Amino acid sequence: SQTIHQWPATLVQPVGSPLSLECTVEGTSNPNLYWYRQAAGRGLQLLFYSVGIGQISSEVPQNLSASRPQDRQFILSSKKLLLSDSGFYLCAWSVPKWGISGYTFGSGTRLTVV
């Protein structure tokens, strides 16, 4: 069966520090991978998605970047965190074709920038 791992679960970082969040998927090949952010009281905002190794699409201009160095690994990074980067970050995967399964989300990382 497919599983998705995301870590760390919580993170408190000072403003200006770097960030690296990692997500890995097991049990599937060539998944579509996504990074979402959920700010307090707000909906899920799509940050990046990837349909293959090295293929990254950015949805909104911001202080973050993403990379996909391996088929089942997706990394979210920042060189210098801002206070506004605080939020609940979710990695998700889906099959690379239309279907009824939708997304499967990782357990999320709660990031607090102080």
Partner 1 sequence: GQNIDQPTEMTATEGAIVQINCTYQTSGFNGLFWYQQHAGEAPTFLSYNVLDGLEEKGRFSSFLSRSKGYSYLLLKELQMKDSASYLCAVRRGSGTYKYIFGTGTRLKVLA
Q: Using CB under 8 A as the criterion, which residues of the chain lie in contact with partner 1 when the complex forms?
A: 32, 36, 41-46, 49, 51, 59, 90, 94, 96, 98, 100-108, 110
Nearer to partner 1, 13 or 94 (CB): 94
CA separation for the pair 85, 27 (Å, rounded)? 31
Q: How far is the CB of 17 from partner 1 (least distance, A)?
A: 24
Nearer to partner 1, 62 or 94 (CB): 94
Q: How far is the CB of 66 from partner 1 (least distance, A)?
A: 14
Q: How far is the CB of 98 from partner 1 (least distance, A)?
A: 6
Distance between first and last Cα of the chain? 38
Scanning 1-114, the segments in alpha helix (DSSP H) are none
Is 85 in a helix, a strand, or coil? Answer: helix
